[in-house]
Structure 1
């Protein structure tokens, strides 16, 4: 696969971000009974806040991750890879970036939540070392809350 890079999203990327999210999550609409939360997100303000990172392959946006800094952790708000780039390890590359970014921000824990009907995602996260710590209904959706510890270098504490 061609070389990829990760960079912050820019205003000009918002339309591509929306399309990637729509394509990546649309197959869940029937299973869940409505659009998953990432499909209804307003990505403009997230890009302005510098919360969206992109993986780019040969100048094409191939995927994204939304990272929100919280007081005691880094929240992974969304990971989406364009359909034609799926299965190439780009989602893992984005999650690895999240770990480095968390450590750079002095956060020793990543957290995320996903819909309990997205079985594939739960399996992927568990294989990557995430642990489930709660399940609850939130915004009318049944969510699974997961976390992963991040090693902090002595220099970043």
Structure 2
């Protein structure tokens, strides 16, 4: 099940981000941007959704919002204990469906160039690499998916 995040979800969301991205800290040399996000503000703005199992156990989350005629998928993370069960794909599909429902024809996202698993996953899901640049000290790869 996917639902809009509530204020009480913030500790689970933060914990998930910490655990999901921890393996990248040594590779990147510092915490990636999703680990230091202001989840409290994002939840209050209605930008965060959580995935739970049939027992309402937290599995992961996604952050996205409309921007300049597209949806920006800013963060998606799954607890390591739930990895490999399709939770991340389900969350991304949820974002794409929400974009279509809002009449938005594309989803944009970026990830760190050193997150090789993410690069491969987004390509498999139909996202196309459109740019790569350094911002805020991070080497980011930008992807887009046309939903029409």
Is 1:90 the counterpart of 2:90? The answer is no
- Give distance in 2, aligned partners of 1:142 and 1:71: 23
- Give distance in 2, aligned partners of 1:133 and 1:71: 16
Is 1:27 the counterpart of 2:2? The answer is no
Q: Which runs of 4+ in 1 moved over 3 A?
A: none
Following superposition, the deviation at residue 106 of structure 1 comes to 1.2
- Give distance in 2, aligned partners of 1:42 and 1:49: 11
Corresponding residue for residue 132 of structure 2: 135
Following superposition, the deviation at residue 71 of structure 1 comes to 2.2
Say how many residue pairs are matched.
147
- Give distance in 2, aligned partners of 1:32 and 1:25: 11
- Give distance in 2, aligned partners of 1:134 and 1:125: 14
Corresponding residue for residue 154 of structure 1: none
Segments of structure 1 that go 5 or more residues without pairing to the other structure are: 152-157
- Give distance in 2, aligned partners of 1:71 and 1:112: 13
Give the aligned CA root-mean-square deviation in angstroms: 0.6
- Give distance in 2, aligned partners of 1:127 and 1:100: 18
> Pairwise mapping of residues 91-110 of structure 1 onto structure 2 (< 5 A)?
91-110=88-107
Provide the secondary structure at the position in 2 that maps to 1:34: coil
Q: Deviations over 1:116-140 (max 9, x none)?
A: 0001100010011000000000111
- Give distance in 2, aligned partners of 1:142 and 1:75: 18
Provide the secondary structure at the position in 2 that maps to 1:144: strand
Match of 1:124 among 105, 114, 121: 121
- Give distance in 2, aligned partners of 1:68 and 1:16: 20
Match of 2:11 among 8, 15, 40: 15
> Under a length normalisation based on structure 1, what TM-score does the superposition of the two structures give?
0.92
> Which protein has the larger Cα radius of gyration, Structure 1 or Structure 2?
1
- Give distance in 2, aligned partners of 1:97 and 1:134: 24
Segments of structure 2 that go 5 or more residues without pairing to the other structure are: none
